[in-house]
Chain A
Amino acid sequence: MSPSASPPLNALIALSRARVPFFVVGVTGINFYALDASQVVRTEDVDVLLAPRIEALRTALAALSSAGFSFRAGGEPFVDLDDRAVLGNVLARGATITAEDDAGARIDLMLSGQGLRFDDLAADAVSFRLGEVEVRVGRLEKLLRAKELAGRPKDAEFLRLYAARLREQAGES
């Protein structure tokens, strides 16, 4: 598969076209603010935060399924794509469903996250384009705060290195 045929790109376009309410968050969200490819931080998956509503989750699963993705939750295959009771349970637990395709692309469909509230991000998210479609990305400040709140050693290290890079980019080093 050529790199230009990017399954994560196709996934976000599919979500947008299906009018799924979502924000790009996590390292991928942070990468949206990069100047160029040299500043894109490598990450294994793409995190999106869905609106905490059954219909949003159902529509997202249908859109990604049509785009060739299958799903896992809690390490198990997740196949109840249209079962409102099951989806309601996923929502109540604030669980994450991982969408994967045959090429190895991984999209984490999050319904909650430390420091990430859908309504809070909605207040000032930034709209960027992916070709013909628009996606909304959490404000950089909020995405960084969420990393801080996650509090894992790898997040602290990420923030330290990211700050050093930004300082250099801003000509402050």
Chain B
Amino acid sequence: MAGPCSIAVHPVPHCPSCRQRRLDSAAVTEDLLRLARWLEAQPWNRPGSDKTWVLRTHWSGFLFSRELRRAVRVAVR
């Protein structure tokens, strides 16, 4: 049966959707994981590095997006 399926939980052996997803994933994964390991090994990712700026950037980006959405809503009224 080719019903809803998930690679992680119960891949269905003959489900075309599962097979396609496996192929898509493999294409992304091998290259991406190699790059991920490269990124992890960079000096700025040494354990103990201060990442306060990441949360500050996240928040300022969030505030900017919210203000932008508000401004667009006002503009279209």
Could you tell me the distance between the alpha carbons of A7 and B66 in the complex, rounded to whole angstroms? 15
How many B residues touch A, CB cutoff 8 Å?
Answer: 40
Any B CB within 8 A of the CB of A114: yes
A130 touches B52 (CB 8 A): yes
Q: Mark A1-44, 1 if CB is under 8 A from B, else 0.
A: 10110111100100000000000000010011111010010111
Could you tell me the distance between the alpha carbons of A35 and B39 in the complex, rounded to whole angstroms? 9
B61 touches A42 (CB 8 A): yes
- State the majority secondary structure of interface residues on B: helix
Could you tell me the distance between the alpha carbons of A161 and B11 in the complex, rounded to whole angstroms? 26
Q: Mark B37-77, 1 if CB is under 8 A from A, else 0.
A: 11110101101111111111111111101100000000000
How many A residues touch B, CB cutoff 8 Å?
Answer: 49
Q: Which of A61-69, A71-79, A165-173 forms part of the interface with chain B?
A: A165-173
Any B CB within 8 A of the CB of A91: no
B7 touches A139 (CB 8 A): no
9 contacts between A and B (CB under 8 A): A31-B58, A40-B61, A105-B59, A128-B48, A128-B49, A130-B51, A148-B28, A159-B32, A163-B35
